[in-house]
Amino acid sequence: MERTLRIRVAKRGTVTLPKALRDRYGIREGDDMSLLDLGGIFLLNPARSKVDQLADSISEVLQQEGESLESMLQALREERDRVFYEQYPEA
């Protein structure tokens, strides 16, 4: 891939990153990026938040262990019911 790419500024200052770059660096719609102005030279950096990175790591581990969102929600419901009946045995 070329080191210098030309892009065009569209309405409201929107720029589109070439698909090859988005694919290579895992940049998705809605991702945050950092823009540093070095005296008219712009440095754009894909900056994923620590929360997103942590969520992806947790999701990967859970998937490897065969967990799904539904199984986790079911476990949460069961634990909530257990605690409720422990605190309110007459209910």
Confidence of residue 16 (pLDDT cuts 50, 70, 90): very high
Average model confidence (pLDDT) across the chain: 86
Domain spans, the chain: 11-46, 50-87
pTM of the predicted model as reported, rounded to 2 decimal places = 0.46
Q: Nearest-CA neighbor of 21 among 4, 41, 38, 40?
A: 4
pLDDT reported for residue 80:
92
3-state percent helix, strand, coil for the chain, nearest multiple of 5: 50, 15, 40
Which residues touch 11 (CB under 8 Å, ≥6 apart)? none
pLDDT, tens only, 33-87: 888 888 998 888 887 667 777 888 888 888 898 888 888 889 889 999 999 999 9
Distance, CA of 74 to CA of 68 (rounded, Å): 10
